[in-house]
Amino acid sequence: MTDKNVSILWEAVDYIRAEEIKRIFPQVDFIDVSSGTLVDSETNGEIFLVSPTRDADELPKFLDKGVKWVHIMAHGVDGLPFDLLDECVVTCSRGASSVPIAEWVLTMLLAHTKKIPESWITEEPKNWFLAPLDTLSEATVALLGFGSINQEIAKRLEPFGCRVVAFRQSKNSDSEFAVEMASTLEEAVSDADHVVIGLPLTDETNQLVGDEVMKLMKPGAHLVNIARGDIVDQDALFKNLESGQISRASLDVVSPEPLPEGHWLYTDPRVMLSPHISWASPDFLDRLHEIFISNLEKWLSDMPLDGAVDTRKGY
């Protein structure tokens, strides 16, 4: 690591631990470019550290201030102005939340299979000892996308004896897990009991899971979305829940976020909805900073960075 000075443009939010980073890298200067902050026209920064809550419309005005590397403190990168980033290195915090999200998905699969919470009782049931519960053993789980999150899901499904089928957009089809790689989306979902969406949001995936794709699934399929709400056509989802083609939707992401008051997704008994929290874990912020600090060390040593984003593909 060199001792060269470097300036970081950042939004002064609590979860970016600027003081901690300064202690490790005393040659780093943090320049506050938070919303509403008056930024001098002469201000320049080599690194632009973007928070996931930053208004994307504000980002372009900082990119002509000498920025060479843009890092977003999140896994998802939709919203970045990729058309303006061709000359920049772009990275994200890929992998920081993969394990807790994978655990959330396994919870949803088991909850659906074992009919939780609807099988709990608060009074004497009609029948003791009898319940139409299902099993994950030999169930087919389709993973749409096979990045770090769905790979962690595949790892955790292996002991359950599931058949796991994955579809990924990139040509790389290798997997260290017992996963069948499908060549098409249709092939992946056609025999699935559970379909897990783990795709990045791009122009190609926006509204990808609509009526046509849902009708390709096995009747009564369970749909899980931990990616982005806009990947699912929510009108088509309602239609397919009504018909029984989809038996349950477990959603950690929706569109818009937050949903307006009175939205049908809040009250539909076939929808298990959480407020975009599947990533949450006690060490999440530590993981975010470990990833950025590791990359900052590499940047200062002129080494390739982890979590690289292809600005042409948008992920």
Q: What is the CATH number of the domain that holds 60?
A: 3.40.50.720
* pLDDT tens by residue, 176-201: 678 999 999 999 999 999 999 999 99
Does residue 307 surpass a pLDDT of 80?
yes
Amino acid at 1: M
Residue 154: CA count within 13 A, CB half-sphere: 24
What pLDDT is stored for residue 2 in this prediction? Answer: 60
* pLDDT tens by residue, 205-220: 999 999 999 999 999 9
Same domain, 293 and 146: no
Q: Convert 122-155 to b/e letters by CB count within 10 Å (16 or more is b).
A: eeeeeeeeeeeeeebeebbbbbbbbbbbbbbbbb
What pLDDT is stored for residue 274 in this prediction? Answer: 98
Same domain, 131 and 15: no
- The reply to whether 315 falls in a domain is no
- The reply to whether 144 falls in a domain is yes
C-alpha 133, offset from chain centre:
30
- The reply to whether 313 falls in a domain is no
pLDDT level of residue 37 (50, 70, 90 thresholds): confident
CA distances from 278 to 104, 118, 209, 244 (A): 6, 21, 20, 26
DSSP string, 253-279: --SSSSPPTT-HHHH-TTEEE--S-TT
- The reply to whether 306 falls in a domain is no
Same domain, 212 and 165: yes
How many structural domains compose the chain? 2
Same domain, 21 and 164: no
- The reply to whether 156 falls in a domain is yes
CB neighbours of residue 73 within 10 Å: 23
φ/ψ region of 6 (left if φ > 0, alpha if ψ in -120 to 50, else beta) reads: beta
φ/ψ region of 145 (left if φ > 0, alpha if ψ in -120 to 50, else beta) reads: left
Same domain, 266 and 209: yes
Of 215, 17, 110, the residue nearest 30 (C-alpha): 17
Q: Locate tokens 């999150």: which residue?
A: 149
What pLDDT is stored for residue 3 in this prediction? Answer: 67
Q: Is residue 162 within 8 Å of residue 185, measured between CB atoms?
A: no
Q: Which domain holds residue 13?
A: 6-96+283-300
* pLDDT tens by residue, 39-82: 888 899 999 999 988 888 889 989 999 999 999 999 999 989 99
What pLDDT is stored for residue 181 in this prediction? Answer: 97
Same domain, 102 and 127: yes
- The reply to whether 310 falls in a domain is no
Does residue 148 surpass a pLDDT of 70?
yes
pLDDT level of residue 284 (50, 70, 90 thresholds): very high
Same domain, 27 and 123: no
What pLDDT is stored for residue 192 in this prediction? Answer: 97
Distance CA 300, CA 3 (A): 8
In the chain, the N- to C-terminal Cα span, in Å, equals 28
Same domain, 74 and 182: no
Q: Locate tokens 């060549």: which residue?
A: 183
DSSP letter, residue 308: B
Same domain, 268 and 291: no
Q: Span 254-263, mean pLDDT?
A: 97
- The reply to whether 278 falls in a domain is no
Same domain, 133 and 199: yes
pTM of the predicted protein model: 0.94
Q: Is residue 9 within 8 Å of residue 49, measured between CB atoms?
A: yes
What pLDDT is stored for residue 175 in this prediction? Answer: 61
Same domain, 16 and 163: no
- The reply to whether 67 falls in a domain is yes
The residues that are catalytic are: 228, 257, 276
* pLDDT tens by residue, 217-226: 999 999 999 9
Distance CA 226, CA 150 (A): 10
Q: Is residue 32 within 8 Å of residue 12, measured between CB atoms?
A: yes
Same domain, 87 and 232: no
Give counts: helices (H), strands (E), the chain. 8, 12
